[in-house]
Amino acid sequence: MHRAFPVLNRRQLLAGAAGVSAAAMLPVKAWAQEGRLNIRVYTEPDDFDPVDASGFGEALLYGAIYRNLIQYESGDEWSYRLDLAESIEQTSDTTIEFTLKEGQMWSDGYGEITAEDVAFTFERILDPEMNSRILPDVGTLSRVEVTGRYSGVFHFDEAFAPFWWIALPYLAGTIVCKAAIEDAGGRITTEVPPTVSGPYRVRELRPGERWVLERNEDYTGDIPAEYERLDIVYIGDEASAEIALEAGDLDFTEVSPGSVTRLQSNPPAGTAMSMHPSLFYVWVGMNMEHPKLQDIRVRQALQYAINVNAIIEAAWYGVAEPSTGIIAPGLIGNRPESLIPPQGDPQRARELLAEAGVENLQVTLNVLNDVTFTTAAQVMQATMAQAGIQLNIEVHESGSFWTLGVEADGDRWRDLEMIMNRFSMLPDPSYATAWFVTEQIGDWNWERFSDEEFDRLHREAGTETDDARRDEMYRRAQDIMEESGAYRFITHGVTPNLFYNNTVPGTRPDGLPLAQYFRRA
């Protein structure tokens, strides 16, 4: 079935669509009140310039201080709403035309937001000298043509269906001010940007602790700041975040699956909980270039030695399900089952090691210092022993962990053997496969996995407009990953959120917060 080209115009979505109350359309001073909101984020936003963005931490920050042509809705279903765009329409397989709302302003005297800013934003990502880590998000985009002060056209070399879901409303679609970037010397290098456009602005950064935001009095959009002050608080460990919320230091946090039953039966006073299906994917990866793991039979033995069911029961307390790949249920490309059963097979693992002539195998698993992942690692240690494999565990704080496989950050990738990792996800399968192509080796592809068919499928599926065909291609791509022996898929998890009931959280359908939508109850 072919997907119809999306069309959005201001008349259709004048009310801001679902998730934004009529009161949000009032002027800022009539709607926003005194107050402060503390939202926890699990990974610290540490990239000052959107062209350098690397994950959800930045997405949460940028959603509060910048604007996009369209942005995700808050609610239970994936959808998007107009933001800077008055209208935006896919006019052919390779063109998207947009018109901006007039009178949308940058802060601090930088004037009106124009189509030149939009073109400049995407041209920076395309510029090889910028070395943008979000370049894969824009796919086959070749250029942005400015056709008027408020209008322009995105041009693609080939059709790229994911652009609507992973670029326009997310990191790559964060519009920056051309004049401000040029004044800054070509890149934002300070925590306080020279200008912003969102409902909040940066007051200060306390590294390793929090971003402190305040209301942007120059904001001209229709989702004004509800709070005088918004703190994005970095706490990597969910157990620590729960303690912080119960102490009144947080208003909203994701909690660990192991706490769900306790918090549901005995919640802290004045709190509520919501549960959301997650798009995250958790897996155990093997560095294919490490001398211990170059033999595919050894990697396959490790796959069979990992009991996913036991991991989920202990680390996710049975509230999650085993995953079949990196693409979650409900999305194009989700596989009905994995090639290796979730319970594994210790005997098959022993047979594969014997075929490879390997005895007394010892391997090291690297994990984040997070109670869910450390528990999962301990379960792996016990169950893999049944296959005669000794698993050693190395636990890392966030700053150390996220540089393990990055060549630009040193040579530690050479000694990397196994990792338990978790990536965030968006509602298009290309956002999952993008990080495992050959060109991502040494950046996000820590398994150093390289397969020509996989690379081709990722590329062609991104330009395919037939959903049934895309589904087949992404399923096959995940088969290739699993057949390589470099991946053992664990779970997509769940997203349980705990918050004070005087707050109405704004979240994506997968439970991740959208700070700009938070309101008072």
DSSP state of 133: T
Around Cβ 247, how many Cβ atoms within 10 Å?
A: 9
The three state secondary structure string of 135-199 is HHHHCCEEEEEEEECCEEEEEECCCCCCHHHHHCCCHHHCECCHHHHHHCCCCCCCCCCCCCCCC
Give the helix ranges, DSSP H, for 258-393: 260-265, 296-305, 308-315, 346-355, 371-385
Q: What is the largest CA-CA distance in the chain?
A: 74
Q: What's residue 192's pLDDT?
A: 95
Instruction: Provide the pLDDT for residue 46.
Output: 82
Domains in the chain: ranges and CATH: 30-235+496-520 (3.40.190.10), 281-492 (3.10.105.10)
Determine the angle formed by the axes of helices 452-463 and 467-483, rounding to 10 degrees: 160
Tokens of 103: 């009178």
Helix (H) / strand (E) element for 208: namely: none
Structure tokens at 249: 């230091």
pLDDT digits (tens, 9 = 90+) for 111-120: 999 999 999 9
Closest CA to 55 of 443, 467, 484: 443
Angle (CA) 324 326 331, round 5°: 85
pLDDT of 14: 29
**pLDDT value for 52:** 93
Measured CA to CA, the distance from residue 521 to residue 512 in angstroms comes to: 19
State the Cα–Cα distance between residues 511 and 509, nearest whole angstrom. Answer: 5
pLDDT in tens, 238-279: 889 999 999 999 999 999 888 998 999 999 999 999 999 899
The CA radius of gyration of the chain, in Å to the nearest whole number, is: 23
Of 485, 487, 438, nearest in space to 458 by CA: 438
Structure tokens at 425: 């996800």
Model confidence over 207-223: pLDDT tens digits? 999 999 999 999 999 99
Task: Please tell me the predicted confidence (pLDDT) of residue 260.
Answer: 92
Closest CA to 20 of 102, 81, 88: 81
Reduce the DSSP state of residue 124 to 3 states and report it.
helix
Angle between helices 346-355 and 296-305 (to 10 degrees): 170
Secondary structure of the chain: what % helix, strand, coil (to 5)?
A: 35, 25, 45
Per-residue CA distances from 213 to 41, 225, 228, 232 (Å): 14, 10, 8, 8
The tens digit of pLDDT for each residue in 424-474 reads 888 999 999 999 999 999 999 999 999 999 999 999 999 998 999 999 999
| Residues paired with residue 500 on neighbouring β-strands, in sequence order | 271
DSSP secondary structure code for residue 513 in this structure: B
- % of the chain exceeding 70 in pLDDT: 93
- In this prediction, the residues of the chain whose per-residue pLDDT falls under 50 are 1-34
Please give the C-alpha separations between residue 290 and each of 153, 197, 286, 296, 417, in angstroms, as whole numbers.
46, 47, 8, 12, 6
> Which tokens belong to 23?
């009161």
The structure tokens listed for 285 are 């990866």
Structure tokens at 423: 């990536």
By CB neighbour count within 10 A (0-12 exposed, 13-18 middle, 19+ buried), where does 269 fall? exposed
Contacts of 129 (CB under 8 A, 6+ apart): none
Strands 362-368 and 390-396: parallel
Give the number of other CB atoms < 10 A from CB of residue 151: 17
Distance CA 475, CA 457 (A): 10
Report the distance separating Cα 55 and Cα 65, nearest Å: 16
DSSP 64-111: HH-B-SEEEPSSSS--EEESSEEEEEEEETTEEEEEEPTT-B-STT--
Question: Which residues lie closer than 8 Å to 455 by C-beta, 6 or more apart?
Answer: 437, 438
Confidence (pLDDT) at 316:
93
What is the model's pLDDT at position 54? 80
Q: Which helix (H) or strand (E) holds 241?
A: helix 238-246
**Distance, CA of 68 to CA of 36 (rounded, Å):** 25
DSSP string, 428-492: STHHHHGGGSGGGBTTTBTT----HHHHHHHHHHHH--BHHHHHHHHHHHHHHHHHTTSEEEEE-
Rounded-to-integer distance, Cα 389 and Cα 391, Å: 6
Report the C-alpha gap between 500 and 507 in whole angstroms: 15
Question: Whose CA is closest to 507, among 28, 39, 31, 101?
Answer: 39
